Structure 1
Amino acid sequence: MAYDEHLAARVKKVLKEKRVRFEEKKMMGGLCFMVADKMCMGVEKDKLMARIDPDIYEKALKKKGCREMDFTGRPMKGYVFVDPAGIDMDKDLEYWIQLCLDFNPKAKSSKKK
């Protein structure tokens, strides 16, 4: 299982309810959701990968189920994983998605190759 399809469907449902235009891209072994041509959030195995404002990074790490995103062995500031325990309830998933959407307009887009 590369990513949890049920979690991906839950994310899509929230984005559609919020009337957010998004694009799905399979990358990093999971499914990323692009908003305004920028990676906004993703699903990696059974975790939500959230791109959040670095200014709230430390505070976010104290939330249930949240931990540093460390693909390379080094934490990436502004990116966190939220384990299933932290997104089990719909309101919790919506909270994290909203943090991602709030930061998206300020996020830098990656350079096109």
Structure 2
Amino acid sequence: MTSTPTALTGRVRAALSGEPSTREVSMFGGLSFMVDEKILVAVGRDDVLLVRIDPARHDELLALAGATQAEMGTGRSMGPGWIHVVPDALATDDDLSFWLDVAREYNTRARRTTR
């Protein structure tokens, strides 16, 4: 299944355009952005951003406005290190940059995701 591009997809793509070793992969029901073969973020069909974060910062980041525990289906938590951010919390480029920076910081230390 090919995901339909969304407004957020274009914004993420533009923000990551200078990032080395970036590729896009359809997964999680949307489009995942991989950096160094590791998931950085994914954009869902509903413009919710899935962010891979440092599990040690999970509670801190989950407390921010618009952040919720990521789930793979109702009631199936993805666990610490995965947060959904709703579109309203990504209204500005600064909002999006904040979450991309959080994901980038962890990406440098994260293990590769196997598929």
**TM-score, length basis structure 2:** 0.87
User: For residue 66 of structure 1, what is the aligned residue in structure 2?
Assistant: 67
Q: Which amino acid aligns with 1:63?
A: L
Aligned equivalents of 1:26, 1:92: Cα separation in 2: 24
User: For residue 14 of structure 2, what is the aligned residue in structure 1?
Assistant: 13
**TM-score, length basis structure 1:** 0.89
8 Å CA contact 2:33, 2:40 repeated in 1: yes
1:23-42 correspondence runs (5 A) = 23-42=23-42
* 1:44-73 deviation digits (Å, cap 9, x = unpaired): 121010001111110111111100001142
Aligned equivalents of 2:12, 2:36: Cα separation in 1: 17
Aligned equivalents of 1:55, 1:4: Cα separation in 2: 32
**Pairing 1:95–2:111 present:** no
Aligned-residue identity in percent: 30
Aligned equivalents of 1:65, 1:87: Cα separation in 2: 8
Aligned equivalents of 1:108, 1:34: Cα separation in 2: 12
How many correspondences in the alignment? Answer: 109
User: For residue 51 of structure 1, what is the aligned residue in structure 2?
Assistant: 52
User: For residue 88 of structure 2, what is the aligned residue in structure 1?
Assistant: 85
Aligned equivalents of 1:88, 1:3: Cα separation in 2: 20
Offset, 1:98: 0.5
8 Å CA contact 2:28, 2:42 repeated in 1: no
Offset, 1:3: 5.3
Unpaired stretches in structure 1, ≥5 consecutive residues: none
Structure with the largest fraction of helix: 1
Offset, 1:28: 1.6
